Amino acid sequence: MTENCSIVIPVFNEEEILEKRIHLLVEDLKKRFKDFEIVLTENGSVDNTKSIIRTLSEKYDMVVAEIDDEKADYGQALINGINRARFEYITIFELDYLDMVFLQKSNELLSSYDLVIGSKKLSGDLDRRPFKRKLFTWLYNTGLKVAFSYKLTETHGLKSFKKSKLAPITNGCVTRHAVW
């Protein structure tokens, strides 16, 4: 396991779970890493999410608020968060799906690979997201498979990568809304 890492989390209208999930994540990461940061990259929320992110970044030194007041754009939020991250190893999490087993295994694999992609679909009972979120993921990915012969299990799977290798590609992406 590396001594440090950046966790980038795109956040959109998450006021109900944001504070509790970040508190739990901070406590868990303190046990695993010497130094880490959590980059909360806000994605056009219309609820109280932006305010909560600012409060969390004041409360915790390791929480970074990356707030873009432009139109909601998942892809741009990820690009902003990746660019803001300061460590070489970056993991993309979703706020409602923080998989510490994936984090540990992917960080180990990054010593040999530049990119590790996980999937909520392949994790079986580890996916404790609400049924509605699971259904949306399934419908969205089924649509991609039918329309574009998409072969991966999902678009919003967990990812870990080396910033030096992926940032140049990431900054070349032209993404909008729900895809990166």
pLDDT at residue 129, rounded to an integer? 64
Average pLDDT estimate for 43-68: 94
- For 167, list phi and psi in degrees, rounded to 5: -60, -40
- Both tokens assigned to 146: 């039918």
Dihedral of alpha carbons 98, 102, 103, 106, sign: negative
| 66-75, 89-98, 134-143, range with the lowest pLDDT | 134-143
Higher pLDDT, 70 or 116: 116
Strand partners, 8: 39, 92
Q: What is the pTM of this model?
A: 0.83
Q: Looking at domain 4-118+158-170, which of 3.90.550.10, 3.30.70.2860, 3.30.465.10, 3.40.47.10 is its CATH number? A: 3.90.550.10
Res 104: pLDDT: 93
pLDDT at position 172 is 77
Confidence (pLDDT) at 109: 95
Distance CA 167, CA 15 (A): 29
Give the chain's mean pLDDT. 85
Domain parsing of the chain, residue ranges: 4-118+158-170, 123-154
Q: How far apart are CA 19 and CA 11, in angstroms?
A: 12
